[in-house]
Amino acid sequence: MRGVAGTLWFSAFTVVVFSDTVPGWLVLLLALTALCGPVARLALRAWTRLRAGRRRVTVLGRVTPSPAPGSGATVRFLRETELRVQDRDLVLRDLGGQEYWFPRSGPHAVTRLVKVVDGTGRPVGAELRGPGEQVRAVFPWERWFGGADGWSRLSAASGLAVSERRLSGRRTWPKGPVLGTGLLPGTSRDARRTARFPGTAAGVSSTAVMAFGNLFSVIQGVRVADSAPGVAAVATAAGALGLALQAVPYVVHEMRGRLVLDRPARS
């Protein structure tokens, strides 16, 4: 729906921009298609949450981060991130709500958990490995297992073979980019951006694009107020409603992050 509405809006926008006189029906089309964006986004979010709540899976265990004091973990990281052990899969969820599913059986199944220690025997992390010793995900020890005994719970619930390997010399861990190293963004701003999923295929904020469309509706509504007062009222109201549907969730998201979620977690 957003694709069709976006195409119609861009067509109407092009005509309006390059025309000296604008018919009322075109302004109405412009305003209503612009309103479809924020309405469709909110409806999609509600439908996604409803569908996720109805998903029937057998959860055998949940391992949430238990960071060591001073590890830099935030309230959002503790609330949103988890490793879920299901009957058929291991599921890693990041603080943006995105999930990574690893099958527990079949040719692509994860096969074992590896505890990684440095030369002194101090744990530095854990690895989830698949066929051919491929590292599928990593878990920095201080952020995941530095507090409570989450490692034992994960080992028991996953049913995977458990082993240990020691780093030699000055080798760094993990080696190269791998899933799990960026689960805790470096700044609170990055965390809010990750949790908001603001990107578009064009690489810009979808909120900014839709807000411009709704603001343009208000401007065009004022423009045709004398020639088509009824259309002007509808266009202005649609534009204002679209701006509100984007501004309110955005402000709530930002304030909740700044005041609560992106503050350091208590030890």
Sort residue 121 into left (φ over 0), alpha (ψ -120 to 50) or beta: left
Query: What percentage of residues in the chain have a pLDDT greater than 90?
Result: 19
Model confidence band, residue 205 (pLDDT cutoffs 50, 70, 90): low
Decide which of 202 and 143 is more confident: 143
Q: What's the chain's average pLDDT?
A: 84
- Position 210 scores a pLDDT of 82
The sign of the CA dihedral 200, 208, 29, 38 is: positive
Supply the pLDDT for residue 203.
46
Higher-pLDDT residue of 231 and 266 is 231
The answer on pLDDT for 129 being more than 70 is yes
Tokens representing residue 143 in the block: 């952020």
**197 vs 97: CA distance, rounded Å:** 10
- pLDDT of 2 reads 64
Which pLDDT band, with edges at 50, 70 and 90, does 202 fall under?
very low
pLDDT tens track for 84-99: 988 889 999 888 788 8
Average pLDDT estimate for 203-230: 82
Using CA atoms, how far residue 25 sits from 3, 158, 215, 221, in Å, is 21, 61, 18, 11
Res 253: pLDDT: 87
pLDDT band at 137 (very low <50, low <70, confident <90, very high): very high
Q: Which domains does the chain have, with CATH numbers?
A: 2-53+195-261 (no CATH), 82-181 (2.30.29)
- 6-24 per-position pLDDT tens digit: 777 777 778 787 887 788 8
Q: What is the mean pLDDT of residues 102-130?
A: 91
pLDDT of res. 135 = 92
Residue 201 above 60 pLDDT? no
Question: pLDDT confidence of 1, banded at 50, 70, 90?
Answer: low
Q: Is the pTM of this model over 0.75?
A: no
With a cut of 50, say whether residue 138 has pLDDT above it.
Answer: yes
